[in-house]
Structure 1
Amino acid sequence: MNWTQPIDPLGNRALSALAAFVPIAFIFWALIIRRMKGYQASLLTIALAIGLAILVYGMPVSIALSSALHGALYGLFPICWIIIGAVFLYNITVASGQFEIIKHFMASITPDRRLQAIIIAFSFGAFLEGSAGMGAPVAITSAMLVGLGFNPLYAAAVCLIANTAPVAFGSVGIPIIIASHVSDIPEMAISQMIGRTLPLLSVVVPFYLVAIMAGVKKSVEVIPAILVAGISFAFFQWLTANYLGPMLPDVIAGLASLASLMLLLRYWKPKTVWTFREEPPQTLALDVTYTAGQIFRAWSPFLIMTLMIVAWGLQPVKDALNSIGTAKFMMPGLENRILKTDGTPLLIKPFEFNYLSNSGLAVMLAALLAMPLIGMSYREGAKTFVATLRQLRFPILTIASVVGFAFVVNNSGMSVTMAMTLASTGVLFPFFSPVLGWLGVFLTGSDASANALFGKLQATSATAIGIDPLITVSANASGGVTGKMISPQSIAIGTAAVGLTGRESALFRLTVKHSFIMLAIICVITTLQAYVLTWLIPDYTMLETTASAAATETASGFTYLLILAGALLLIVAAVLRLNRSSLSATRTVNP
């Protein structure tokens, strides 16, 4: 028996939108006012959403429960699987003692916490977002900052806020590719439009990060580094997005920002070194020197991980791995059961268990390959993995609950009710357009999912009021990046990575105002683009909706994997050779 989504179940659009907004308001209240633990707030929120879906929207109980289960499974795989791999890789570097060398190396570049935050959270985090996405950048960079001696709460907050600048181009451009698919606007046009919006935000993010940590006065002391990091990142983000497309802006801009900062710090240092007031006394023995081989060995897990996730992000590699092994199945009770208001079935994607092509496997394989190189036995690695699972048990529950909640909200029609209410604002819609993206990312934790959810609605609403749909479709992705930092899924990842599980409310309160400030900036920029700065809109031609997809290049995927294997062999050989050289030098000094 089919069920049709009601868009206005209470007979009044405003009241229906308020009813649909209740679960979101509840999770804000639970985290900000009641200061609940993340998993408690998430479990109560999904229960409330299921109740509203059944009682207000008339959703059959079986469909509501199947939707929640479908979302929970997606939360466990691939999202939690990727996070487990990322935190596990970090944990093995700590357990093996290699992270002490990384800390020493970073301190030798700069012991200043302000500069370390820019280097790791902003520049390196953007590179990881462009390669992997799915929460891995926040998990890895926040754990690294804590390892360096950062206040855990500020480490997580800084990394969540830094993650705004690159999210729209994350995971090798997947959010923009999805936006193009649902809106029939070319990928390149969306990439160009976002590339003319987000660089304005990217310039100020490094200053924003430092100001949150140290205040405006202390931020001015490192203004050369802030400007170099922000401007170099923004320039290459603009350049790549406008002339190369959506796949590489984060990777290239992140690397350019890192290189520019390293070059600057060779010739300039701040007059004073800033650390957290409550920071414990440093125990780093700065008189100890490490060889190039030891430093390379310590960084090798992250280098291997980077190569692996870049390779896994290439579509031909995904196709090649999926041709070997993947499994799909439709969630029982959902296939063709939900109808939209026009009578067409709501597209429910099957659950895809792509165990080979998923980025989580790439990170896990990187950890397994790195263990022998950093002197860790697989027995010790297994103990570390069990400890990682124990560390992440509550965040895993939180993420599964949050994604289940998102699926219930989407399948019941609640998200459409809220979206249609915003779309009815007429000429003000360009201002509220980024709010839809923000809402979508808050609900799903993913800019790609937000674009899939609201991309078509953005395009249709813009056309109805006579503005270019490219503006609002791009605004959905640009506005969505500001919701990432307070998505319950992201908050759970951040607290888990820094050992603050149970203190999700504290992290949420620290980041929520910054989310709204950045959202307001994107709203103003989008409104100006719609009515004043129309010359910023690139020329483009809508895609033919009947165009067939290009044939996948499975064979080239295997070729890329062979190239990856060769690169990994070179890294292994380099680590072994440099280690032998270090041992020989040690024996010579101490015969």
Structure 2
Amino acid sequence: MFQQDLEAVGDSLALSALCGAIPLLTLFVLLGGLKVRAWVAGLVALVVALLVAVVLFGMPAGPALLAGSEGAAFGFFPILWIVINAIWVYNLTVATGHFDVLRRSFEKVSADQRIQAIIIAFCFGALLEALAGFGTPVAITVVMLMALGFEPLKAAAVALIANTAPVAFGALATPIVTLGTVTSGASDDPRLNVDTLGAMVGRQTPILAVVVPLILVLVVDGRRGLRRTWLPALACGVAFGAAQFVAANYISVPLADIVASLFAALVVVLLLQVWSPSEELRSTPATGESPSGGGGVAVAAPPQVDTRSEVVKAYAPYAVIIAIFSITNITAVKAALAEEPWTYLFSWPGLEVLNPAGDAVATTTFTLNWLPAAGTLMIVAGIVTSAILRISPATAARTYVRTYVELRSAIVTVMAVLALAYVMNLSGQTSSLAAWLAGAGGAFAILSPILGWIGVAVTGSDTSSNALFGGLQVQTAAKAGLDPLLMAAANSSGGVLGKMVSPQNLAIAAAAVGMAGREGDIFRKVLFWSLVMLAFMCLVVGLQSTPVLGWMVPS
């Protein structure tokens, strides 16, 4: 049995905190400074965390390795289990060509690039974020925008900026699930669970959602675009924010982005039936070279006409996912699936850890909810989708294997980062950092979103940031006299704004638009907006820590 010690290094809290920060600094320097590949940086930082735990914090090697193994296991199930299976469903639609049908149906809604940015980058991007996350929305929407005639740099900037408000609930709320797991063992506050954390985040990011579509039309067409298309932009933002708030607080945390994205898209489509901009901003029509190849006159590419049946099939996978998750979130069904044999709770073998007060740490209990897990439900959705799209079992199986191959680096990265987080949390490194940061007192409420922003900017993942800093936020809040629930949520809400400047997302966007090696150009295009929205979120969280907006925090 191992007991954590806040002053393990030299009987000094400050020195212990600085030593506890070494694994994080290692990860940040390797990723941000030396630009080492994420999976390599994650593994190196994990080794450093193990050495710090054993050599400096006195944790026996056995428990330290077991802590890392539990973190890695949690990284695969349920986190990667969701991501892999969600991307598999998307890959099925690509393999059958129905994703192209979906893109063309979006194009028919409006030829105005400002409206297209709202519908594709924000609404559809949010749906992709809800189902897959981890860079998928940027990679897909930026290609769609390019196909519709957007300039490469503008397409990349629009896709990155749009991928903000939905991120906290991405991949069926994987960041919130992770946050609930790492914070439940850091505090005895009963509110630190997925439902209440999701509700709190759902009272922060919807405020951000209102302004994001307005920023998008400003980026696409400057002040003129804002003057002429502020109405659909505002309607989209308000609709998304309202739906995200309602879903996160009263319906289902995993479904929050799905409900919000579909409702926002519906509002924009309905608005376009009775309103249109005074002047459309159109792209240059797609053209094809003359058959002779001798520089002849280019001709417009003939439009492809999709049947109503094909369009329905293109939307079917998303309808299936919504239906399945809606059924499993019915109170009676949810309660039944939480019992054996569908769900098992067990203590991680051989891992016994006490916090500084002498109480057992809750994070050593592992939940194996193999059937109600979001990833398992996505497999069910994939099987139903295969039947609807008439995909053979062999093709579906090959696509599934290919999805694992495509995500192999991400799999190693996520498992390494979660292992790192568990080693830091269980060895006491995170607790020492928290106790030291608590010296900031009430001012920590303003700094809290910045910590989340740094985590996502470096790791490229709100899930990873929550794993790294979730426990730290809660422990610091308790020592500084702040609300642990608010600070935990602030880590996720502030983190979403670091997504657009993370090296991974920048690399994805640059590769998709043919600007590999020019990530710096895209970075300069989006940095201002990232910092402006971060300052706005810091203000919101700061006010929520006071009586001014304190009523927004669930009791």
Settle same-fold status: TM greater than 0.5: yes
Please tell me whether residue 119 in structure 1 is matched to residue 134 in structure 2: no
Match of 1:414 in 2: 429
> Which residue among 276, 281, 285 is the counterpart of 1:272?
281
* Conserved? CA contact 2:325–2:377, under 8 Å: yes
> Which residue among 340, 350, 373 is the counterpart of 1:333?
350
Q: Rate the CA distance shift 1:81–1:529 in 2: closer, same or farther, 3 A.
A: closer
Please tell me whether residue 136 in structure 1 is matched to residue 151 in structure 2: no
Match of 1:89 in 2: 89
* Conserved? CA contact 1:193–1:474, under 8 Å: yes
Q: CA deviation at 1:527?
A: 2.8
- Letter of the 1:84 counterpart: I
Equivalent pairs counted in the alignment come to 521
Q: CA deviation at 1:404?
A: 0.9
- Letter of the 2:189 counterpart: S
SS in 1 for 2:367: strand
> What pairs up with 1:65-464 in 2 under 5 angstroms?
65-110=65-110, 114-126=114-126, 136-138=132-134, 141-142=137-138, 144-146=140-142, 148=144, 150=146, 157-158=160-161, 160-164=163-167, 170=173, 182-184=188-190, 197-209=204-216, 214=220, 216=222, 220=226, 222-237=229-244, 250=257, 252-266=259-273, 267-269=275-277, 271-273=280-282, 287-314=303-330, 316-322=332-338, 323-334=340-351, 336=352, 338-435=353-450, 445=463, 453=471, 457=475, 460-461=478-479, 463=481
Match of 2:53 in 1: 53
Q: CA deviation at 1:298?
A: 1.8
- Letter of the 1:258 counterpart: A
Q: Rate the CA distance shift 1:206–1:50 in 2: closer, same or farther, 3 A.
A: farther
Q: Which moved more, 1:439-448 or 1:135-144?
A: 439-448
- Letter of the 2:318 counterpart: F
Q: CA deviation at 1:262?
A: 1.2
Q: CA deviation at 1:75?
A: 1.0
In 1, the alpha carbon distance for the partners of 2:521 and 2:46 equals: 18
**Structure 2, unpaired ranges of 5+:** 147-151, 290-297
Match of 2:550 in 1: 537
* Conserved? CA contact 1:21–1:418, under 8 Å: yes
Q: CA deviation at 1:420?
A: 1.8
1:487-537 CA-partner distances (Å, limit 9, x unpaired): 89x98799789988xx99969994787665544332223333445xx2433
Q: CA deviation at 1:195?
A: 5.6
* Conserved? CA contact 1:90–1:143, under 8 Å: no
Q: CA deviation at 1:71?
A: 0.9
Identity of aligned residues (%): 28
Please tell me whether residue 41 in structure 1 is matched to residue 41 in structure 2: yes
Match of 1:480 in 2: 492
SS in 1 for 2:494: coil
Q: CA deviation at 1:413?
A: 1.5
Q: Over aligned residues, Cα RMSD in angstroms?
A: 4.5
Q: Which moved more, 1:139-148 or 1:23-32?
A: 139-148
Q: CA deviation at 1:88?
A: 1.0
> Which residue among 537, 541, 546 is the counterpart of 1:522?
537
Q: Compute the TM-score of the two structures, normalised by the length of structure 1.
A: 0.73
SS in 2 for 1:375: coil
SS in 2 for 1:288: coil
Match of 1:571 in 2: none
* Conserved? CA contact 2:23–2:48, under 8 Å: yes
Q: CA deviation at 1:417?
A: 1.9
Q: CA deviation at 1:462?
A: 5.2
Q: CA deviation at 1:208?
A: 4.1
In 2, the alpha carbon distance for the partners of 1:508 and 1:19 equals: 36
SS in 2 for 1:161: coil
In 2, the alpha carbon distance for the partners of 1:276 and 1:415 equals: 55
In 2, the alpha carbon distance for the partners of 1:19 and 1:504 equals: 35
Q: Which moved more, 1:394-403 or 1:311-320?
A: 311-320
* Conserved? CA contact 1:479–1:519, under 8 Å: no
1:377-398 CA-partner distances (Å, limit 9, x unpaired): 1112222222212111111111
In 1, the alpha carbon distance for the partners of 2:172 and 2:549 equals: 19
In 2, the alpha carbon distance for the partners of 1:312 and 1:209 equals: 35
Q: Rate the CA distance shift 1:395–1:535 in 2: closer, same or farther, 3 A.
A: closer
Q: CA deviation at 1:189?
A: 8.9
* Conserved? CA contact 1:312–1:358, under 8 Å: no
Match of 2:293 in 1: none
- Letter of the 2:282 counterpart: V
In 2, the alpha carbon distance for the partners of 1:276 and 1:479 equals: 44
Q: CA deviation at 1:318?
A: 3.8
In 2, the alpha carbon distance for the partners of 1:366 and 1:226 equals: 32
In 2, the alpha carbon distance for the partners of 1:351 and 1:196 equals: 29
Q: CA deviation at 1:311?
A: 3.1
